[in-house]
Structure formats: structure tokens, C-alpha cells
Chains A and B, each alone.
Chain A
Amino acid sequence: KAGVTQTPRYLIKTRGQQVTLSCSPISGHRSVSWYQQTPGQGLQFLFEYFSETQRNKGNFPGRFSGRQFSNSRSEMNVSTLELGDSALYLCASSLGTGGFGNQPQHFGDGTRLSIL
């Protein structure tokens, strides 16, 4: 079974630009979560999508947005990039139904975003 796939693996942007990151979950998984990982702040939850609807949201500004398609693939968009957005962005998928809290999340290898 293929794992979680994130594209691209590396991205370099400049301040003010916008970026779109992509995540393909494990087949059959309907929940996709996004995380930002930085050395200073650690792993922070951005949002979670389930059946094309945002179900949970972390404490990030509105510049960070996402969506999920009918095939459960998800994209994350960051507009008006700032230097502080440089981070490893991780996507994780899970079944997302029933006792979701009991279900582990399966992570992709991440997209490393660098802002110049």
C-alpha cells in the first residue's frame, strides 16, 4: 500500500509570494491533517479535512488555507509569504471515522519550504 505522498519535497519562494502544497493520502483514508514544523515552535497543527470539509483548525492566520478534493487529496495554500513561514510542512492521513482519536496518523515526508 502506498504511503502518504507530499509534493514537492523542496520549495524556495520569496516574501510576498504564495505557494500551494499537495498531499495524497493513503488509499481509503478520508482525513488529512497538516502540520508546520520549525526548530523554535516544534510541531504545530494547522488544520484537518474530512470528506472535503474542514473539521478542525489550529491557531494560524488566515493566510494559511486548505482544501480537500473528492478523492481525499488535499492542498494547502499559503499567501503573502513571510520569512517566518520557512518550515517543514507535514501532511498526515488517517481513516478519520468512528473513534478517530484512537487512530494513528500516517505522515508523509513533508515539503521543506524556504522563504528568501
Chain B
Amino acid sequence: AQSVTQLDSHVSVSEGTPVLLRCNYSSSYSPSLFWYVQHPNKGLQLLLKYTSAATLVKGINGFEAEFKKSETSFHLTKPSAHMSDAAEYFCVVSALSTGNQFYFGTGTSLTVIP
């Protein structure tokens, strides 16, 4: 079975400081992992994906995530927050073994304080 746990429902950071959004996953098989961002009244935009290649994945807008199998984690980071980063972030897991369905975390709302 696949599942995703986003450990923080809300994170606040000051502009220019680092961002850390935490995600733990559960998967019986080799998973694919994704991070998506959603701005108000918009669809989800792909930030980055992990598909069993390099464990450190770089995405758009300066975001990156590290796949740690031993910790079953896929945390999203950014060195310096920008006001435009304020949004809802979703961690997603999928696996070929379970019909390729996407399993979404409950989301983390990121607030950036000027």
C-alpha cells in the first residue's frame, strides 16, 4: 500500500530564510515521488520528481528534494524563500504495482513573512 504523510500542515518562514517541508512515504515497492505546488484557485504545478535516478532532485524555482530510502523521506527544501513561494505544497507517491494511482499528502501551507 502507498501512503504519504506531510508532517506539517502549516509552515511560516521569513523571506530570504531557508524552507523545509517534510514528507514521509510508505510504499511496498520502488516508488515514484513528486512535489507539487498549488496557488489559490489554481491547479497543481509540478516542482520536481524522483524516479529512482539521482537521490538529490532539483526542481523549478530553486527547490530541491532528497530521497532517503532508509528514512522513507522526501523532504522539500529551498535555500532562500521568496514571497511568491507562499502556496500549498503536496507530496505525492505513486507506484507501478498499485495501478499507477497518485496518492497525495494532506498538504503543507507555506507562509512567507516579509
Contact = CB atoms under 8 A, between A and B. Distances in A.
Given A45-B101, A55-B99, A56-B101, A107 B45 contact: yes
A112 interface: yes
B102 A45 contact: yes
A107 B41 contact: no
A65 to B, nearest CB: 18
Interface string B37-75: 000011111100101100000000000000000000000
B32 A90 contact: no
A74 to B, nearest CB: 15
Nearest to B106: A42
Contact of A107 (B31, B43, B99, B103): B43
Interface string A15-52: 00000000000000000010000000011010010000
A1 to B, nearest CB: 14
A53 B33 CA distance: 26
A4 B45 CA distance: 11
A43 B104 contact: yes
Contacts of A48: 100-101
B102 A105 contact: yes
Nearest to B34: A104
Interface size class, chain B: 20 to 34
Contacts of B100: 48, 56, 100-101
Contacts of A66: none
B46 A43 contact: no
A106 interface: yes
Nearest to A3: B43
Interface of B: 31-32, 34, 36, 41-46, 49, 51-52, 90, 94-96, 99-104, 106-107
29 contacts: A6-B43, A42-B104, A42-B107, A43-B107, A48-B101, A56-B100, A58-B101, A90-B44, A92-B43, A92-B102, A99-B51, A100-B96, A101-B31, A101-B32, A101-B100, A102-B49, A102-B96, A104-B34, A104-B46, A105-B46, A106-B46, A107-B36, A107-B43, A107-B44, A107-B45, A108-B43, A109-B41, A109-B43, A110-B42
Given A90-B44, A99-B96, 9 more contacts: A6-B43, A42-B107, A48-B100, A100-B96, A101-B31, A101-B94, A102-B49, A110-B42, A110-B43
